[in-house]
Amino acid sequence: KKVIFSGMQPSGIITLGNYLGALKNWTNLQDEYNCLYCIVDMHAITVRQDPAVLRKNARELMMLYIAAGLDPEKNIIYMQSHVSAHAELAWILNCFTYMGELSRMTQFKDKSQKHSDNINAGLFTYPALMAADILLYQADLVPVGIDQRQHLELTRDIAIRFNNLYGDTFKVPEAYIPKVGAKIMSLQDPTKKMSKSDTDVNASISIIDDTDTIIRKFKRAVTDSETEVRFDEENKPGVSNLMTIYGAITGQTMEQVTNEFAGKGYGDFKVKVGEAVAEELKPLQNRFKELSSDKAYIDGVIKKNAETASYLATKTLRKVQKKVGFPPII
Q: How far is the CB of 169 from ligand AQP (least distance, A)?
A: 25
> How far is it, in rounded angstroms, from Cα 156 to Cα 174?
8
> How far is it, in rounded angstroms, from Cα 180 to Cα 183?
8
Identify which of residues 97 and 148 has a Cβ nearer to ligand AQP in the complex: 148
> How far is it, in rounded angstroms, from Cα 139 to Cα 141?
6
> How far is it, in rounded angstroms, from Cα 97 to Cα 248?
36
Active-site residues, by number, are 111, 193, 196
The beta strands (E) that lie in the chain are given as 3-8, 34-39, 75-79, 141-143, 174-176
Identify which of residues 175 and 320 has a Cβ nearer to ligand AQP in the complex: 175
145 known ligand binder: yes
Q: How far is the CB of 230 from ligand AQP (least distance, A)?
A: 21
Contact 144, 18 (CB under 8 A): no
> How far is it, in rounded angstroms, from Cα 21 to Cα 173?
18
Q: How far is the CB of 89 from ligand AQP (least distance, A)?
A: 18
Degrees to nearest 5, angle at CA 22 with 157 and 24: 150
193 known ligand binder: yes
Identify which of residues 158 and 182 has a Cβ nearer to ligand AQP in the complex: 182
> How far is it, in rounded angstroms, from Cα 241 to Cα 187?
8
62 known ligand binder: no
Strands 3-8 and 34-39: parallel
146 known ligand binder: yes
**Phi, psi (deg, nearest 5) at residue 175:** -75, 150
195 known ligand binder: yes
Identify which of residues 57 and 94 has a Cβ nearer to ligand AQP in the complex: 57
Q: Which residue number is nearest to ligand AQP in terms of Cβ?
A: 21
Identify which of residues 203 and 320 has a Cβ nearer to ligand AQP in the complex: 203
147 known ligand binder: yes
10 known ligand binder: yes
> How far is it, in rounded angstroms, from Cα 14 to Cα 195?
8
The residue count for the chain: 330
Q: Cα separations (Å) of 269 from 52, 170, 259?
A: 40, 48, 12
- Residues lying near ligand AQP in the complex (CB under 6 A) are found at 8-9, 11-12, 15, 17-18, 20-22, 144-145, 147-148, 182-184, 193-197
Q: How far is the CB of 147 from ligand AQP (least distance, A)?
A: 5
What residues are designated binding site?
Answer: 9-11, 17-18, 133, 145-147, 184, 193-197
What residues are designated binding site for ATP?
Answer: 9-11, 17-18, 145-147, 184, 193-197
What residues are designated binding site for L-tryptophan?
Answer: 133
